[in-house]
Amino acid sequence: MIELPKATYVVHSALYVKNKFNFSAGDTFSENGNVILGRALSITSNQDVREALAQLLSKPSVASSTKNIVAYRFTDDNGVMHDGIDGDGEYVGGRCIFNSMKEDGINNALVVVSRVFGQKLGHKRFSYFKNAAKSAIQRVAPKSK
């Protein structure tokens, strides 16, 4: 699991990586005041993960989200697989996105699913998280396995 950067690190790092990464946004899912949106990016290193998260989380529209669920997988230059999740309090949601990436053979991708909380969705929210992540990943088309 990757530790999300602290607010001061995010602001400081964002100054250096401003607009270095271009996230692809997926479909937006809305129900009962909830808004769920996935964003994805091709990555190849832990540094990419840290810098991309710093850049994305510095955006007010993302930083103000109730939850920002992170999942990533990539293979480094030595052929070693790296992966991680941070459910931002939605552990099952993070696992759901991560497991979906594994099952679909998605590699070299970072996904962030943001949720603005409305009314309770119950277990239905997990399918929204999964679908938001998948729609964003489809726009990035990272390498499989």
Question: What are the pLDDT digits (tens) for 83-96?
Answer: 999 989 888 999 99
Rounded average pLDDT over 61-89: 93
Boundaries of every domain in the chain? 7-140
Q: What percent of the chain has pLDDT over 70?
A: 84
- Record the tokens describing residue 69, joined without a space: 């669920």
Among 47, 41, 38, smallest CA distance to 13 is for: 47
Angle at 18 between CA 82 and CA 63, to 5 degrees: 75
Count of residues in the chain = 145
In angstroms, the CA 89 to CA 68 distance is 9
CA angle 105, 115, 119 (to 5 degrees): 130
- Strand extents, DSSP E, 67-144: 67-75, 81-86, 109-116
**Whether the predicted pLDDT of 5 surpasses 90:** no
Architecture, CATH, for domain 7-140: 2-Layer Sandwich (3.30)
Stretch 62-70: mean pLDDT, rounded? Answer: 92
pLDDT of amino acid 141: 66
Q: Are 26 and 139 spatial neighbours (Cβ–Cβ below 8 Å)?
A: yes
- The residue with tokens 């989200």 is 65
